[in-house]
Amino acid sequence: MKLYFFECGILKSQKQYFTAGRGLLEPFDVPVPFFLIEHPQGYVLYDTGNALEVAIDKVKHWGDVIAAYDPVMTEDQWVVNQIKRVGVKPEDIKYVVLSHLHLDHAGGVGHFPNAKYVVQRDELYYAYVPDFFMKGAYIRADFDKNVDWFILEGWRDNKFDLFGDGKIIIYFTPGHTPGHQSLLVNLEKSGPMMLTGDACYTTENIDEDVLPGLGWSPSLCIQTIQTFRFLRDQRGVQIVTGHDPVAWQQYKKAPAYYD
């Protein structure tokens, strides 16, 4: 297996939105990651970054939310254009696992014609009827599409083994949103890596008990982060944080990969 890290541009934001109570008005530029896994039985994407429309007219596509999260992205950085540069066509993608349906994760939905889109039922529901404080983070035009949804059912499907071989395991990790999920990738040489999506934005969230700045349920955010901490400290799992400008610099980026 190969695991590729990609960056779909950045969000110009404030630190307080990632670490609650810390960094009020402090400028904070975070990466927008997505990941490609080459498994013997097919290609898997974990998240898809921003929509192509963001590179063309971000105000029109994202609206008022850019006051808090201002995307900087080129057409070249769109998921479809980036995977092509490592030799993968959109029709080669077998599964698109969506951590959740926020605008910087679900922007590529609908562009992989042969893919099953793996999403939690609670997430798909909430994306249509979010609480007021989450409304700006869901762009209905991104996910309201006639794709082949592959629905998982929360705790009942926790630790879902995507290919049945123990290589790619989907953890139910609610808190940031009701139906957030994370991806454990068991690599031969690099060992187990947990792609946390938005369930653990930065190293501060996991090392210093700092709540993320945006969360649907703070108590579930903490429960999920405790799971990551257990896996890291007791099982040797490497935790890949979601919007961490410092940690992100240290990872190999495509076309380099982890295997």
Q: For residue 194, with 0-12 CB atoms within 10 Å meaning exposed, 13-18 middle and 19 or more buried, which class applies?
A: buried
Query: Which among 38-46, 148-156, 191-199, 203-211 is the span making contact with Zn ion, rule CB under 5 A?
Result: 191-199
Least gap, CB of 182 to Zn ion (angstroms): 12
If the CB atoms of residues 6 and 258 are measured against Zn ion, the closer one turns out to be 6
If the CB atoms of residues 15 and 102 are measured against Zn ion, the closer one turns out to be 102
If the CB atoms of residues 204 and 257 are measured against Zn ion, the closer one turns out to be 204
> Should residue 204 be labelled a site residue for Zn ion when binding is judged by CB under 5 A?
no
Classify 116 as helix, strand or coil.
strand
Least gap, CB of 180 to Zn ion (angstroms): 8
> Should residue 47 be labelled a site residue for Zn ion when binding is judged by CB under 5 A?
no
Cα pseudo-dihedral 89, 40, 46, 205, rounded to 10: -150
Strands 116-120 and 148-152: parallel
If the CB atoms of residues 82 and 123 are measured against Zn ion, the closer one turns out to be 123
Residue 53 CB-half CA count within 13 A: 17
Query: Which among 101-109, 142-150, 224-232, 248-256 is the span making contact with Zn ion, rule CB under 5 A?
Result: 101-109
Least gap, CB of 212 to Zn ion (angstroms): 9
Coarse DSSP helix, strand, coil percentages of the chain, rounded to the nearest 5 percent: 30, 30, 40
Tell me the site size for Zn ion, rule CB under 5 A.
Answer: 2
If the CB atoms of residues 112 and 126 are measured against Zn ion, the closer one turns out to be 126
Calpha distance 127→46 (Å, rounded): 18
Give strand ranges (E) for the chain.
2-14, 27-39, 42-46, 70-72, 93-97, 116-120, 148-152, 160-161, 168-172, 181-187, 191-195, 238-240
Query: Which among 10-18, 38-46, 81-89, 196-204 is the span making contact with Zn ion, rule CB under 5 A?
Result: 196-204
- Looking only at residues 208 through 227 of this chain, which bind Zn ion when binding is defined by CB under 5 A? none
* Number of other residues whose CB lies within 10 A of the CB of residue 59: 10
If the CB atoms of residues 5 and 104 are measured against Zn ion, the closer one turns out to be 104
> Should residue 180 be labelled a site residue for Zn ion when binding is judged by CB under 5 A?
no
Largest CA distance in the chain: 46
If the CB atoms of residues 198 and 204 are measured against Zn ion, the closer one turns out to be 198
Instruction: Choose which of 47, 123, 142, 198 interacts with Zn ion (CB under 5 A).
Output: 198
Residue 157 tokens read as 């499907």
Owner of token pair 């997505």: 34
Instruction: Choose which of 102, 111, 167, 243 interacts with Zn ion (CB under 5 A).
Output: 102
Which residues contribute to the site for Zn ion (CB under 5 A)? 102, 198
